[in-house]
């Protein structure tokens, strides 16, 4: 959600159970605007909330000149004070997958996990070894956000443009999908650098290079879709 019209966007998703208190809305509107100007972001998104045992994490995302390459993730416990999240490395991303417990709400907390491995022993026997894996909650939070971004953050076709220089920017003339387009998986792209590059030349020739430069959700696994239209939101 763009911080510039946060109040309106929150109201749109309220029917799905995503609700902020009036105090949280007002505070976010103010602090996200300050974040934008202090850090010289092109715009700031309210990314969402990640629930924790003791207090939730409010996540914001500052966007630079390139939508895909210049993202800065920040978190707050009170919607007022914001901390910069580290950029997770491959090792931290993989390590975060072994933790199944909920986040505690303390960024400095060190989570522990005992990994049991079976190694060849004497004869046909297997010997078990235990490995203690630890991870700071702030690093785990950054890795969780990265994994969510990689797998499920999507944008409608046409929302972003790739300039001749390769820079990816918002399409200011984009006004949304038609009802027919909105029901097709081909109309939605993953909001991350593309991974699927092995496309037949015949199919590639049909694409608009300025718009069709991201991976569609059509090839996602597991397969499946559930499209629901509500007259309540038709304008």
Note the pLDDT tens digit of each residue in 139-186: 999 999 999 999 999 999 999 999 999 999 999 999 999 989 998 999
Out of 128-132, 194-198, 200-204, the most confident range is 128-132
Residue 230 above 70 pLDDT? Answer: no
pLDDT, tens only, 28-64: 999 999 999 999 999 999 999 999 999 999 999 999 9
Give the pLDDT score at 205: 66
Distance of alpha carbon 168 from alpha carbon 161, whole angstroms = 6
The tokens of 35 are what?
Answer: 């974040």
64/1 same-domain check: yes
Distance of alpha carbon 168 from alpha carbon 17, whole angstroms = 32
Distance of alpha carbon 159 from alpha carbon 187, whole angstroms = 10
* Contact status, residue 127 vs residue 121, Cβ threshold 8 Å: yes
Distance of alpha carbon 162 from alpha carbon 211, whole angstroms = 7
Q: How many domains does the chain have?
A: 3
Give the pLDDT score at 121: 67
Query: What burial letters (b/e) apply to 202-228, b meaning 16+ CB within 10 Å?
Result: eeeeeeeeebbbbbbeeebeeeeeeee
Give the pLDDT score at 235: 42
Percent of the chain with pLDDT over 90: 65
Say what the pTM is: 0.85
pLDDT, tens only, 112-128: 999 888 777 666 677 77
11/57 same-domain check: yes
Distance of alpha carbon 145 from alpha carbon 141, whole angstroms = 6
158/201 same-domain check: yes
Residue 109 above 80 pLDDT? Answer: yes
Residue 93 above 70 pLDDT? Answer: yes
Compute CA 141 distance to the chain's CA centroid, rounded to the nearest angstrom.
12
169/105 same-domain check: no
Residue 198 above 70 pLDDT? Answer: no
Q: Final residue of a domain: which of 152, 174, 195?
A: 152
User: What is the residue range of 226's domain?
Assistant: 153-235
If you average pLDDT over every residue of the chain, what do you get?
88
44/94 same-domain check: no
182/116 same-domain check: no
200/220 same-domain check: yes
Q: Final residue of a domain: which of 113, 128, 152?
A: 152
Question: Which residue, 69, 77, 74, 71, is CA-closest to 85?
Answer: 74
Distance of alpha carbon 197 from alpha carbon 215, whole angstroms = 9
Residue 199 above 80 pLDDT? Answer: no
Distance of alpha carbon 56 from alpha carbon 60, whole angstroms = 13
Peptide bond into 67 cis (omega under 30): no
Give the pLDDT score at 39: 95
């Amino acid at each position: 959600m763009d911080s510039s019209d946060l109040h309106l966007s929150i109201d749109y998703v309220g029917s799905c159970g995503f609700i902020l208190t009036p105090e949280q809305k007002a505070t976010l509107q103010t602090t996200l605007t300050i974040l934008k100007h202090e850090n010289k972001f092109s715009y700031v998104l309210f990314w969402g909330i990640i629930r924790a045992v003791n207090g939730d994490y409010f996540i914001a995302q500052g966007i630079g000149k390139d939508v895909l390459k210049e993202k800065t993730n920040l978190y707050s416990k009170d919607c007022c004070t914001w901390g910069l999240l580290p950029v997770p490395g491959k090792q931290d991303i993989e390590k975060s997958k072994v933790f199944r417990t909920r986040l505690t709400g303390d960024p400095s907390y060190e989570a522990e996990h005992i990994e049991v491995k079976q190694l060849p022993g004497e004869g046909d026997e297997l010997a078990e070894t235990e490995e203690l894996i630890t991870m700071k909650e702030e690093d785990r939070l950054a890795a969780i956000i990265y994994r969510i971004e990689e797998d499920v953050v999507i944008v409608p076709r046409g929302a972003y443009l790739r300039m001749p220089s390769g820079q990816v920017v918002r399409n200011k003339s984009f006004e949304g999908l038609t009802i027919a387009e909105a029901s097709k998986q081909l109309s939605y792209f993953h909001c991350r650098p593309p991974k699927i590059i092995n496309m037949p030349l015949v199919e590639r020739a049909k694409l608009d290079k300025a718009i069709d430069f991201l991976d569609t959700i059509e090839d996602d696994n597991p397969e499946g879709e559930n499209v629901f239209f509500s007259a309540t939101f038709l304008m």
